[in-house]
Amino acid sequence: MTIAVVGTLDSKGHEHAFVAEQIQKRGHQVLLVDLGTGRAPQVSPDISRFEVAKAVDLDLQALIEKGDRGECVVAMSEAASVFFPSLVAQGAIHGIISLGGGGGTALGTSAMRALPIGFPKIMVSTLAAGNTSHYLGTKDITMIPSIVDVAGLNRISRTILSRAAGAICGMVESNISEESDKPLIVASMFGNTTDCVSMASEVLEAAGYEVLIFHATGTGGQTMEALIESGMISGVLDLTTTEWADELLGATLSAGPKRLDAMSKAGVPAVLCPGCLDMANYGERSSLPEQLEKRTLYIHNPQATLLRTNANECKKLGRILAEKANANSAPTAILNPKKGISLISAEGQPFYDPEADSALFGAIHEHATCEVVDYEEEINSKVFAQEAAHKLLELIREHQKKPN
């Protein structure tokens, strides 16, 4: 197996060379790739920074001579995100590892985010203990804290880097068991829709599909969208579209304005539901903005406070859901569980609000051009869950009958 050891060899060449040596001792080949933008590399790379830059026709030398390191890092990040997928496509590398501080982490992870899910990726970083979401994106990058700066070899750094080398070797050596070649369906779930998604999944699995469930926590929705857009998915069961409530209200679990766009880009049959659009997620009770203090709130746990969306907000959310559904050229339906869109919005529960629900369902009907079906059920009822699954199977069959 060949493992790419990637980084800024002008400043951290000896450290990368040490990792390369540890990998070779374990019987694997190494491709040492320079992404540096400063002085000459400390060690000789197998692939130079200029070869990487050619992937996007970048005149790297001219950029280096300008002396703007930030501009260089941005440009080389773009080049790396094009160059390394080509190596993977050629079967030239089977894993990738990088070491770095701020610039090195940006460069290394830009290459890794462009690689397929499941491809071994390790980033040893001084930033691994902080917020790494913008480095990881939606990909399975393993971040290892460097503990000390990646600046020289010492008792601590040798230990960390040796373990990291062993980890990437273990990853590429692992045999992936392909137990199933069943077509894939993705589903979104929250604690308030767990029963519904679980029961629907049973129906879909009995029909011969494998169901991948994503937690609608912002990152979960983004990851699901990325997988849908990859073309690997046969159907979308998006019963928990709650991340749009957080996007609208500026709360903590937003998946961004592109949430629900992937199904249209990939042309995948989809069943949507306004699941948990009754709630936006905030942190500890004491962290809420003052203007929200008089709103209907629910303490989900000490770290999570839920805000009940009001009628005006629900009207906007209903229109968004409808317009996103309308954009999909593949068969799409919106299903409305009118007796409760979450566990806590049913009658007698803390978020029961008929006025807000009426605004939500009314906006969906007003703006949707796709099929909309109302059910006098709560979202977690067995009837609604099974109906959602059967509707998706129906739409998939309809899509399969269409001529290519």
Catalogue the E-assigned strands of 60-140.
95-100, 121-125
Residue 145 pLDDT: 93
Domain end marker among 173, 196, 230: 173
Whether residue 178 lies inside any domain: the answer is no
> Last residue of a domain, which of 173, 202, 228?
173
Q: Quick one: pLDDT at residue 306?
A: 94
pLDDT of res. 393: 98
Residue 90 pairs with which residues in a beta bridge?
none
Distance CA 305, CA 246 (A): 12
Would you state the pLDDT for residue 2?
Answer: 97
Q: Please report the pLDDT score of residue 294 as a whole number.
A: 87
Structure tokens at 378: 């709560």
Phi, psi of 114 (to 5 degrees): -85, -5
pLDDT attached to residue 232: 87
Determine how many CB atoms are found less than 10 A away from the CB of residue 173.
Answer: 14
Task: Note the Cα 393 to chain centre separation in Å.
Answer: 25
116 falls within a domain: yes
The domain of 8 spans: 2-173
Token pair listed for 241: 């579209």
pLDDT mean for each 10 residues of the chain (404 residues)? 96 96 97 93 96 94 87 93 96 96 93 92 91 84 93 92 97 78 93 95 97 93 91 95 96 95 97 97 86 88 91 98 98 98 95 97 98 97 98 97 76
| Shared domain check, 119 and 11 | yes
Residue 332: the pLDDT is 98
Domain check: are 355 and 207 in the same one? yes
CA atoms in the 13 A half-sphere facing the CB of 392: 30
Taking 3-state DSSP, the helix, strand and coil percentages for the chain, each rounded to the nearest 5, stand at 45, 20, 35
| pTM of the complete model | 0.75
How many whole angstroms separate alpha carbon 388 and alpha carbon 279?
A: 21
Regarding whether 222 and 159 lie in a shared domain, the answer is: no
Spatial distance between the Cα atoms of 94 and 371, rounded to a whole number of angstroms: 45
Q: Check residue 286 and give its pLDDT.
A: 83
What does the pLDDT read at residue 50? 95
Same domain, 279 and 350: yes
In angstroms, rounded to a whole number, what is the distance separating the alpha carbons of residues 128 and 45? 26
Residues 111 and 34 both lie in one domain? yes
Give the DSSP H or E segment for 300.
Answer: strand 297-301
Among 173, 201, 232, where does a domain finish?
Answer: 173
- The pLDDT assigned to 178 comes to 60
Which pLDDT value is given to residue 301? 82
User: Does 214 lie in the same domain as 143?
Assistant: no
179 within some domain: no
End-to-end CA distance of the chain: 39
